[in-house]
Amino acid sequence: MDERGLPAEDVRKLLSQAQSKDLSYSGGRILGSMCTSPHSLGREVFTQFLETNLGDAGLFEGTKGLESEAVEMIAGLLGLAGTSGLLTTGGTEANILALWAARNKGRGKKVVAPETVHFSVDKACNLLGLRLVKTAVDSRKCADLGELESRIDHDTCAVVGVAGTTEYGTVDDITGLAKIALEKELYLHVDAAFGGFVLPFLQELGYPVHFEIPASGVDSITLDPHKMGLVPIPCGCIIFTDPETQGFIETEAPYLTLKRQHTVVGTRSGAAAAAAYAVFKHLGREGYRGVVKQCMENTIKLYRGVVKLGLAVRTPTINVLAIDCGPEVYDALGKMGWRLSQTREGEMRIIVMPHVSEKVVREFLRDLESVAGDFHV
């Protein structure tokens, strides 16, 4: 740190220089991210509540109430009532909280999950001293339930299912997993970080997707408002179907206004909670349905365009596309400024977020065609 500070105007110039090296979602070239520009009302509200701290919630009882209402609205989205839950810094923290509760509740040290599980589950297991066993998926990239069940043993404390996998957007059979979890008396966590704000609306729109949280068998669910929920970072959510589960991750918090904490982080943003509440209230199910409808229509346009080009592409379940086009095509598109990502198997992976407009889809298809032609794909 320098001895003397710079005038605010000079600092603003330095920041603008730095920001010019950043990409922006509105620039339309980011196709590989599950984040997007937050809703303008969420942005405004976040700024308004910037100094609030839900880690010392007794000082911010109004904001704490907004968090409770936001969590209830999210549980309602899944058709759940009588749950407990918290807003988190994102899906990773939510997945950690779930497996932390499972470990402290159960006796085993092993977690069984399909190989399509998000890498935050690897992280959570390393952190928690758990052993993660990954099981095969079927040709649709969904958990093979027979295979998964066969890997459960006396040391297993939890099973994880995914509703909207990060790589393929596919949805595991949660009802089937819940049956297994009930039979084996295991903790079942569902990672719907991305899919949670897509699947309920796709179902309402009549798309052929199946996602439901059965009345029993599921212990916790992750959903991320800061992905398809259009809420500013940091905003994830964990729902515990049995409010008692939260007690297994309790930390005593002396000298704070509330004496119990249930999050990984201590000080935590109330601004995200207020923003989540605001965006949920402002958009309503109708608003989110519109967002999801637009994303899915653009996904299908992109899918059809790729099929027309003769490239191999998986039929999308939600607004995630995996195109098997070879590394040269992928690299060439990167050089043209497209920010893509890849599945672990090397397919080009595209998340059709709200900032990926129809115009972006057209431009991308045009570039894909030219590049694929160059390489005679």
Return the residues of window 336-365 that contact a second copy according to CB under 8 A. 339, 341-344, 349
Distance separating alpha carbons of residues 243 and 216, to the nearest angstrom: 14
Q: Which is nearer to a second copy, 66 or 158 (CB)?
A: 66
Q: Which is nearer to a second copy, 161 or 232 (CB)?
A: 232
Contact 176, 138 (CB under 8 A): no
Contact track, a second copy, 146-175, x by CB under 8 A: --------------------xx--------
187 φ/ψ angles, rounded to the nearest 5 degrees: -75, 130
Contact 104, 179 (CB under 8 A): no
Q: Which is nearer to a second copy, 145 or 220 (CB)?
A: 220
Please, what is the end-to-end C-alpha distance for the chain in angstroms? 53
Taking CB under 8 A as the rule, does residue 191 contact a second copy? no
Taking CB under 8 A as the rule, does residue 205 contact a second copy? no
Which of residues 157, 274, 296, 356 is near a second copy by CB under 8 A? 274
Which of residues 187, 211, 288, 364 is near a second copy by CB under 8 A? 288
Burial of 10 (0-12, 13-18, 19+ CB in 10 A): exposed
Contact 296, 207 (CB under 8 A): yes
Taking CB under 8 A as the rule, does residue 256 contact a second copy? yes
Place of tokens 């995996």: 322
Q: Which of the residues 53 through 112 are near a second copy (CB under 8 A)?
A: 53, 55-56, 58-63, 65-66, 73-74, 76-77, 89-93, 96, 100, 104
- Short-list 262, 268, 265, CA closest to 243: 262
Distance separating alpha carbons of residues 315 and 320, to the nearest angstrom: 10
Question: Buried b vs exposed e over 313-352: b needs ≥16 C-beta within 10 Å?
Answer: bbebbbbbbbbbbbeebbebbeeeebebbebeeebbbbbb
Stretch in the footprint of a second copy (CB under 8 A) among 51-59, 142-150, 307-315, 357-365:
51-59
Which of residues 150, 216, 251, 315 is near a second copy by CB under 8 A? 251
Q: Which of the residues 5 through 34 are near a second copy (CB under 8 A)?
A: 5-8, 11, 14-15, 17-25, 30, 32-33
Please, what is the minimum distance in Å from the beta carbon of residue 339 to a second copy? 6
Contact 339, 357 (CB under 8 A): no
Two structure tokens written together for 312: 């191999």
Residues that bind a second copy (rule: CB under 8 A) add up to a total of: 108
Which of residues 222, 246, 261, 299 is near a second copy by CB under 8 A? 261
